[in-house]
Amino acid sequence: MLLLCAREFFSLLASGDLDGERPPVSGEQRQGVPYNDSQIIMGNLHIGKSVLRKEGREKVTGRARYVDDIKLPGMIHGVTARSPMARGKIREIRFGSGIPWDEFTIVTAKDIPGKNCIALLIEDQPCLADSVVNHPEEAVVLLAHPDKYLLEEARRAVHFDIEPLPAVFTLEDSLAQTQIIWGEDNVFKTYQVEQGNIDSAWSSADFVVEGEYETGAQEQLYIEPQGMIAQASRSDGVTVWGSLQCPHYVHKALVRLFGLPKERVRVVQTETGGGFGGKEEYPSMIAGHAALLAWKSGKPVKMIYDRAEDMAATTKRHPSRTRHRTGVTRDGKLLAMEIDFTLDGGAYETLSPVVLSRGTIHAAGPYSCPNVRIRSRAVATNTPPQGAFRGFGAPQSVFALERHLDRVAEAIGISPEELRRRNFVREGATLSVGQVVQEKVQMGKLLDRALELSGYHEKRARFARENQNNVIKRGIGFASFLHGAGFTGSGEEYLASEASMRVSQEGKVQVLAGSTEMGQGTNTVFAQIAAEALKLDCEQIEILQPDTSLVPNSGPTVASRTTMIVGKLVETAALTIQKSLSDAGLIRSEYTQAEFQNACRQYIERFGELKALVKYQHPKDLHWDDQHYRGDAYGAYAWAVYVVEVSVDMRTAEVRVEDFVAVQEVGKVINPVLAAGQIEGGVAQGIGYALYENVVWQDGRMANGQMTNYIMPTTMDVPKIRVYFEELPYARGPAGAKGIGELPLDGTAPAIANAIASATGIDVKAIPLTPEKLMELLEKRHA
Amino acid sequence: MPDSQGKIRVQCEVNGKAVSFEAYPMERLLDALRVQMELTGTKEGCGEGECGACSIEMDGSLVNSCLIPVLQAEGAKIRTIEGVAHSAQLSALQQAFLTHGGAQCGICTPGMILAATNLLARNKNPTDDEIREGLSGNLCRCTGYTKIFESVVEACHTRKREQDA
């Protein structure tokens, strides 16, 4: 499956014109280096420095241009009329009275020039529902008009006559097949991971501990809602500008939707006000809608969701259920881990198979266990499709595991830290999918440091003493975890990402990549990597705005892959440029900026052009078997231990996070301020995931789709997050860097749950643990 | 008085300049700023006064411009993010946000900087708790707020250094 997905992802590649009279340059020479053959640029010009955010000045002055800040001549507005029902047959669409409908552009499924689908892994999701609807808020009719206010009235005047069909709203009902709503069995995808022989392992275990854990949906809640502007005509093709993470995903979807040749579709990313996965696949939908309206009206169309529509209609983190059965010896050695992991994918497949894959591979954590069986599946329900959200399946399965291990430790009577310590994977040991770890893993060291920095032992003892007499009880807990960077398994191989670089006569260096900046720091990190390799100032480096007509396909900006995978391509491109200049005898090993500029001018005068296109090459020693789901799942992992201190008011059941220590190893840190910012922001999202962010479902619809009653952490809810990095440079990452972005979402929630359990003695098994839910648990205990 | 279309004329001062515009009386000030005056630095995050992305100063108070009907702006002195920097010179807060990683995706940043600017105008040396409270109406999904607190503290230090100098 994954193999197939990856091929599907393989999209338009920019042509590299490196032939001709120029000296031969190849950007591929550094990509296949053996693991220990360290060729890391151990630079100190820019790497490891908190270089200022490249687009920061525009952002702090309000001059940065987001999609809603852009106005095209003659532009009109577009809105979506959506299904009020979870599942049913569309009998009739009625356009109510009192609206001058002849002034409106009206689009239904019949107006789609190509295939009515959002092309992603498969093509099960329509762009506009035609005869049936499969979830509330499914788009059915599109309207455009110059007057925004009238447009909203018109949207409310579109009525649907829908014959209801029985629907499925929970993963339990979907598994029980109370109705078949997708395919033959409601199942999007299953995986099975087998290591050792679990069936014969149980008899040797001194203890067998079982548990079932649940996590809820979570809204990405980027502060800039989804938005897109489109211009489209038969003569000019389709162009969209918008808030998005993956320009080439949108490109692929529009090509299919319009049946146009690839070169007649253009996707441009505008400044993006947060994504977190929420702008990975959904922008293909809104881009399709805006473009259909533009195509029919002949005018540029702007489509901006308000918050309510964004929360109601777009993707969220998959709800999950995980069952653990763990066999362990008296002295705390893991013998058998049986894990059953289920995700609720919503009405269409979207990225569920890939989310499930990452969740499955992370389900057994950073531990060595000789016998493991993981069975997992993603199932359909009649809710809007769930989708990518930072962590991508791992936060769900890691929550279950790290909470479960605290319970295992309790069952056998050893400390939670000792249980982890006795089972941490080490260099040369094997992870559950059979990957022999090649990295110098330092989990024990990370654990020691995190416990020390947080004052864990002292606090645990003190809280145990003091809590007895206090109505506000304190607790401290932790989680240890890993997160694979880059696409899973053979994903990177099939993505075969590209990045390129070109240099002007004046020595100005342009980085051309499809990777997007959405706040996480792509622009700055790419500039640092390029400037370090070329020994230039960061200001000499320009990062081109992602535009599919100009930049190569660097793969999606997801999966903690941008710095590690695409950053490496940028570094290689820079070294290729340098080599071209050096081979032409224009620079020596050391040069000044002026000499570089001079060399570039001479090179371009002589050979016409100075550029390099680099394509990813999968390291030859990394193997993945898609059929048996075994092998080297990721090129590298980030490793971490997070310790949380909480207080619980036993009268109100309110939980406060009092202290947070996040210790991690993510390879070489390229920009300390940006890297710490990634961790802090991810931790805050994890705090919300654990304690506040409760999506209330009502017949498949989000009932609390407003910021007023879907609560994300404010300044009052987040302590100063203390972030520490251990730095072990990774030979295949640019300047030694690994991926970082998703990591903090994995361990935050279980660490909080463990701290609450430690404070209250309540066996936390589900998140979000809102005060209402905790109070129920406290009352149940007293009953 | 409303005209035949039901619109009124509003006169106010925006970023130190006198402004006069026509709008429906209940139109949101946010839209008048963004659409009519093309001051797009003020952002809309939720439209219901929860996120603070549309924060502006009105007669010295921090308000959510998505909740202000334009008729309330009559005669008001308004400051948006476009009026925070003095020509090309960033304010101490803007500079601190840039240096200390207070801005990531940038969408909450204008509102956050207005909120912080307003806080520091009222309280030159806020404690950590006062900073938290002063910014509690402004949501940020990227930073986890730690770097925003650091930015505000740094701006206080800068201002103090400048005054001492």
Contact A477, A644 (CB under 8 A): yes
Q: Are residues A776 and A687 part of one domain?
A: yes
- Which residue of chain A has the CA closest to B150? A720
CB-CB under 8 Å, A68 with B44: yes
On whether any CB of chain B is under 8 Å from the CB of A436, the answer is no
Determine the average pLDDT of the residues in A741-768.
Answer: 98
Nearest to A220 by CA among A705, A766, A635, A765: A705
CB-CB under 8 Å, A682 with B104: no
Q: Are residues A665 and A712 part of one domain?
A: yes
Closest CA–CA distance from residue A455 to any residue of chain B (Å): 21
Q: Are residues A669 and A651 part of one domain?
A: yes
* Per-residue buried b or exposed e for B120-154, using 16+ beta carbons within 10 Å of the residue's own CB: beeeeebeeeebbebbebbbbbbbbbbbbbbbbbb
Q: Are residues A244 and A143 part of one domain?
A: yes
Q: Are residues A100 and A246 part of one domain?
A: yes
Q: Are residues A468 and A496 part of one domain?
A: no
Q: What is the pLDDT of residue A44?
A: 80
**Does A657 have pLDDT greater than 60?**
yes
CB-CB under 8 Å, B48 with A60: no
pLDDT per residue over B88-145, tens digit each? 899 999 999 999 999 999 999 999 999 999 999 999 999 999 999 999 999 999 999 9
On whether any CB of chain B is under 8 Å from the CB of A234, the answer is no
Nearest to A133 by CA among A186, A183, A85: A85
Q: What is the pLDDT of residue A6?
A: 33
**Does B49 have pLDDT greater than 80?**
yes
Q: Which of A284, A313, A342 is the last residue of a domain?
A: A313
Residue with the bigger pLDDT between B85 and B127: it is B127
Q: Which of A617, A638, A653 is the last residue of a domain?
A: A617
pLDDT per residue over A115-151, tens digit each? 999 999 999 999 999 999 999 999 999 999 999 999 9
Closest CA–CA distance from residue B31 to any residue of chain A (Å): 11
How far is the CA of A267 from the CAs of A76, A522, A641, B35, in angstroms?
19, 18, 40, 25
Q: Are residues A536 and A412 part of one domain?
A: no
Nearest to A302 by CA among B7, B29, B34, B41: B34
In a domain, A392, yes or no: yes
- Residues of chain A in contact with residue B25, where contact means CB-CB under 8 angstroms, are none
Closest CA–CA distance from residue A57 to any residue of chain B (Å): 7
- Which residue of chain B has the CA closest to A276? B142
Q: Are residues A61 and A119 part of one domain?
A: no
Contact A749, A402 (CB under 8 A): no
Interface of A with B in 130-149 (CB under 8 A): none
CB-CB under 8 Å, A676 with B105: no
ipTM greater than 0.95: yes
Q: Are residues A105 and A50 part of one domain?
A: no
- Which CATH number covers residue A147? 3.30.365.10
What total of structural domains would you count in chain A?
3
Q: Are residues A325 and A370 part of one domain?
A: yes
CA A339/CA A395 separation, integer angstroms: 15
A726 phi and psi angles, rounded to 5 deg: -95, 135
CA A377/CA A504 separation, integer angstroms: 51
Contact A183, A653 (CB under 8 A): no
Class of domain B92-164: mainly alpha
Give the residue from B142, B150, B152, B154 with the most A CB atoms within 10 Å of its CB, the best one to mutate. Answer: B142
Nearest to A65 by CA among B45, B79, B106: B106
Q: Where are the domains of chain B?
A: 8-83, 92-164
In a domain, A26, yes or no: no
Q: Are residues A161 and A85 part of one domain?
A: yes
- Which structural domain, as residue segments, surrounds residue A539? 40-65+491-617
pLDDT per residue over A539-589, tens digit each? 999 999 999 999 999 999 999 999 999 999 999 999 999 999 999 999 999
- Residues of chain A in contact with residue B102, where contact means CB-CB under 8 angstroms, are 60
In a domain, A181, yes or no: no
In a domain, A588, yes or no: yes
pLDDT per residue over A455-512, tens digit each? 999 999 999 999 999 999 999 999 999 999 999 999 999 999 999 999 999 999 999 9
Q: Give A468's contacts (C-beta < 8 A, 6+ positions apart).
A: none
Q: Are residues A50 and A76 part of one domain?
A: no
- CATH topology for the B8-83 domain: Ubiquitin-like (UB roll) (3.10.20)
Q: Which of A276, A291, A313 is the last residue of a domain?
A: A313
Nearest to B136 among A60, A676, A715 (CB): A715
CB-CB under 8 Å, A306 with B47: yes
Give the residue from A52, A55, A57, A59 with the most B CB atoms within 10 Å of its CB, the best one to mutate. Answer: A59
> Hey, how many other C-beta atoms are within 10 angstroms of the C-beta on A52?
18
